[in-house]
Amino acid sequence: MSVENPAMSQNVISQPLGSTTGSRYFLDTNILVYSIDPTDSAKQRVAAGLVRDSLQNGRGVISFQVVQEFCSVARRKFTTPFSWNDLRDFFQQVLAPLCEIHSSSDLYRSCLAIAEQTGYSYYDSLILAAAASAGCQTLYSEDLQSGQMLVGLKIVNPFRG
């Protein structure tokens, strides 16, 4: 399988969403997955545009959790699973440059507080804690309620029209 780097794709929109201009934003795992998965071409275009924009402008961020989840999905759930070489290439080209948030005691404490306050799952709360820790203003995800403000983050589902 040849892995196309979303940052270099000519088949994506040139400016994914106006709200990414000037501020930091966090990409949930589903954004990375849709950037590769051809099952829904509209979602793929939007997601690949966000990933490309993130790599080009340096304002998009992911965490160690997103790296782990993406690697698991890429090896097990894609129609054509990534080979180890494909995964290594995608890690080098996309995941490593975007990964700024790593595990820490402070991150876990924040996660637990968010989970207790919001009722969100541990893993969703860990994403929220990572995005807040990175100083992001926006969290792009289809898994949380779009438009909601949580821990200083605006939740945006980029696939909603």
pLDDT for 27: 98
pLDDT for 145: 87
C-alpha torsion angle, residues 58, 59, 64, 65 (rounded to 10): -140
User: What is the per-residue pLDDT across 47-79, written as a single tens digit (0 to 9) for each?
Assistant: 999 999 999 999 999 999 999 999 999 999 999
Domain boundaries, the chain: 24-156
Which of 17, 49, 9 has the alpha carbon at shortest distance from 31? 49
pLDDT for 4: 56
User: What is the per-residue pLDDT across 94-112, written as a single tens digit (0 to 9) for each?
Assistant: 999 999 999 999 999 999 9
Would the pLDDT of 21 be above 70? no
pLDDT for 90: 97
Q: Which pLDDT band holds residue 12 (cuts at 50, 70, 90)?
A: very low
CA of residue 104 relative to chain centroid, distance: 19
**Rounded Cα–Cα distance for residues 117 and 65 (Å):** 21
24-156 under CATH 3.40.50.1010, yes or no = yes
Contact 31, 138 (CB under 8 A): no
Burial class (CB in 10 A: 0-12, 13-18, 19+), 147: exposed
Would the pLDDT of 140 be above 60? yes
User: What is the per-residue pLDDT across 79-93, written as a single tens digit (0 to 9) for each?
Assistant: 999 999 999 999 999
Q: What is the pTM (predicted TM-score) of this model?
A: 0.87
pLDDT for 150: 93
Q: Pick the residue with more confidence: 6 or 123? A: 123
Q: Which residues pair with 26 in a beta bridge?
A: 61, 139
Contact 137, 23 (CB under 8 A): yes
Per-chain mean pLDDT for the chain: 89
**Rounded Cα–Cα distance for residues 151 and 79 (Å):** 36
